[in-house]
Structure 1
Amino acid sequence: MKKALVIGASGGVGQAVVAELRGRGVEVTTLSRSEDGLDVTDERSVTSALDGVDDDMDLVFVATGALTCTRDTPEKQLGDLGADELLAQVSLNALGPALVLKHWKSRIPRKKRFVFAALSARVGSIGDNGLGGWYSYRTSKAALNSLLHGAAVELGRTHKHAIVTCLHPGTVATSFTEDYPDHDKVTPEQAAKNLVDVIDGLDPAQTGQFFDYAAKPIQW
């Protein structure tokens, strides 16, 4: 891997992924809301931001997202569910990365390996959900998984060396997770190393799949 674009590069995981890639000698271009005004939920903002980026990328990594958008904590029960939070979560966590892929599709090489990876979460797995709650966040990540799986199927017909993947980084010690002391957490730096290792090890035959930080498949 020689060149990468990291979107959401100002966040905890995004910053660490940028540092990890650069430490491996990768030339990294970054985009973020705080530094570049990129709003992944606004298609015009996405196209404008991508227009300024070189085409020749081996990796596009999307690290944008939020645990909540309109409330302080995820929903604990069905009575907490509301349209504003659900729609905001889907817009940011699912539509955002999909719009990036939509507008990068024409730049994806046909004759060499290329990876499009986005941060998902194990709680987005419907099959692995034994606890309930967190309705909007779970739904947004499940929607992301579905969008990227569908895109992988489409791209697989024409781009035989392309890999589209959803990645679960584990519970990372960032501002998102500081209120969850009972979870085992990894540092952003360790999470970034794990994620880049997974990306480096992926084969085009694995496109459209959902993996954790140890490269183990997660059920949909």
Structure 2
Amino acid sequence: MKRILVIGASGGIGAALCSVAGGEVVGLSRSGDGLDVTDPASVERVLGSVEGPFDVIWIAVGILSAGQGPEKSLSQIDAQEMADVMAVNSIGVALVMRHVPRLLASGGRVGGLSARVGSIGDNGLGGWHAYRASKAAVNQIIRGASIELKRTHKGSVVLALHPGTVETEFTAGYKASKLSPEESATKLTAVLEGATPDQTGQFYDYAGKAIPW
């Protein structure tokens, strides 16, 4: 039976990824397991206690802001706010990634949730500086991980994935058309499962369309 690890399992998308996984699922979260990705000791304790290998690993942690909401102008940039967002969305994912080589099966797949607004090439609106920067950074982390895992885990696939605008607490108050968490999770799973090893290290949306870096 396929084994799936979902990190960030208590969030809207993470919980949905658990529900659509179709195998033996291990879900880890801050609320359920005390996993604080901003605390290296917590990451070591929680992930260090997990036994692999897993055929699929999802990294579904992230925050939109640390309190003030996304910046609408340069004048709203706050050093602590930016540091807090980077601590979860970028450094936290990097700390989790340290454990992936040990936990991933040969030929396994890793899906790291990113966001379209992390694309530098696709940024035509500006604003949201901390969140955009954190997602651009996590894209680089995922890309770097894919290169290393390509060497050590033959046939592996590691993707940065944009889940779409999903109906969760994360997007409460935003009027954009939204996917349900289950719709997003199902589509993301199809993209990750359908990708070939030569696509590893790339950035796709939930519909399987490539997003520019």
Same fold by TM (over 0.5)?
A: yes
Question: 1:136, CA displacement in angstroms?
Answer: 0.3
Q: CA deviation at 1:142?
A: 0.2
For residues 38 and 71 of structure 2, the distance between their equivalents in structure 1, rounded to whole angstroms, comes to 22
Query: Could you list the runs of 4 or more consecutive aligned residues of structure 1 that deviate by over 6 angstroms after TM superposition?
Result: none
Name the TM-score, length of structure 1 as normaliser.
0.93
For residues 178 and 49 of structure 1, what CA distance do their matches in structure 2 show?
A: 30
Q: Which position in structure 2 is the counterpart of 1:8?
A: 8
Aligned-partner Cα distance in 2 for 1:66–1:107: 25
2:168 is aligned to 174
Is contact 1:101–1:116 with CA below 8 Å preserved after alignment?
Answer: no
**Amino acid of the residue matched to residue 145 of structure 2?**
A
Q: Gaps (5+ residues) in structure 2?
A: none
- The separation in 2 between residues aligned to 1:135 and 1:10, in whole angstroms, is 26
Please say if 1:164 is aligned against 2:161.
no
Partner of 2:203: 210
Secondary structure at 1:219's aligned position in 2? coil
Q: Write the distance in 1 (CA, Å) between the matches of 2:93 and 2:134.
A: 11
Could you tell me which amino acid in structure 1 is paired with residue 189 of structure 2? V
Match of 1:201 in 2: 194
Query: Equivalent residue for 1:187?
Result: 180
Higher alpha-carbon deviation: 135-144 or 47-56: 47-56
Contact 2:59 / 2:113 at 8 angstroms: preserved in 1? yes
Deviation of 1:184 (Å): 1.2
- Given that residues 114 and 161 in structure 1 are in contact (C-alpha distance below 8 angstroms), is that contact kept between their aligned partners in structure 2? yes
| Alpha-carbon contact 2:57-2:104 (below 8 Å) kept | no
Distance apart, 1:33 and its partner CA: 0.3
- Report SS of the residue matched to 2:102: helix
Cα distance in 2 between the residues matched to 1:209 and 1:30: 25
Change (3 A) 1:99 1:191: same
Structure 1 counterpart of 2:79, from 79, 83, 97: 83
Q: Structure 2-normalised TM-score? A: 0.96
Q: Which one of 63, 67, 72 corresponds to residue 66 of structure 1? A: 63
Is 1:129 the equivalent of 2:106?
no
Superposition deviation, residue 34 in structure 1: 0.6
2:101 is matched with 105
Mark the runs of 5 or more structure 1 residues left unpaired by the alignment: none
Question: RMSD value over aligned CA atoms?
Answer: 1.2
Percent identical across equivalent pairs? 50
Determine which of 139, 144, 162 is the counterpart of 2:138.
144
1:105, 1:88 → 2: CA distance? Answer: 27
Q: Which amino acid aligns with 1:157?
A: R
- Matched residue of 1:58: which SS? strand
